[in-house]
Structure 1
Amino acid sequence: MIDLVEDTRSTPLFRLGAQPIALTAVALFLLIAGVTSIAIWRAYTGSAPETDRVVASRQLQARTAQASEQLVEKTKGLEATQQESIDQLQVVQDQLQTVKRLLAAQQADTKRLSEQVASLNESIDGLRQSFASARATEAETPSVTRRKPARYRHASARKRSRG
Structure 2
Amino acid sequence: MIDLAEDTPSNPLLRLGAQPIALTAAALLLLIAGVTSIAIWRAYTGSAPEADRVVASRQLQARTAQASEQLVEKTKGLEATQQESIDQLQVVQDQLQTVKRLLAAQQADTKRLSEQVATLNESIDGLRQSFASARATEAETPSVTRRKPARHRVHASARKRSHG
Unaligned runs of 5+ in 2: none
Instruction: After superposing the two structures, state which structure 1 stretch, 12-21 or 35-44, moved more.
Output: 12-21
User: Counterpart of 1:148 in 2: which secondary structure?
Assistant: coil
Query: TM-score with structure 1 length normalisation?
Result: 0.67
Identity %: 94
Is the 8 Å Cα contact of residues 8 and 15 (structure 2) preserved in structure 1?
no
Runs of 4+ in 1 over 6 A off after TM superposition: 1-5, 48-57, 144-163
Aligned pair in 2 of structure 1 residues 45, 145: CA closer, same or farther (>3 Å)? farther
Greater CA deviation, 24-33 or 66-75? 66-75
User: Mean alpha-carbon deviation: is it higher for 114-123 or for 40-49?
Assistant: 40-49
Q: Mean alpha-carbon deviation: is it higher for 30-39 or for 149-158?
A: 149-158
TM-score (norm 2): 0.66
Question: 1:107 offset after TM fit, Å?
Answer: 0.5
Deviation of 1:131 after TM superposition, in Å, equals: 0.8
Cα root mean square deviation, aligned: 7.9
The size of the alignment, in residue pairs, is 163
Distance change >3 Å, CA 159–CA 107, structure 1 → 2: farther
My pick for the range that moved more, 116-125 or 88-97, is 88-97
| Maintained 8 Å contact 1:16/1:22 | yes
Deviation track 1:49-80 (CA, whole Å, cap 9, x = no partner) reads: 98798678656655654554344234323313
**Shift in Å at residue 116 of structure 1?**
1.9
Q: For 2:156 and 2:92, locate their aligned partners in 1 and report how far apart those are by CA, in whole Å.
A: 73
The gaps in structure 1 that reach 5 residues or longer are none
Task: Tell me if the contact between 1:42 and 1:48 (Cα under 8 Å) persists in the aligned partners.
Answer: no
CA displacement 1:72-96 (0-9 Å, x = unmatched):
2343233133223312321321221
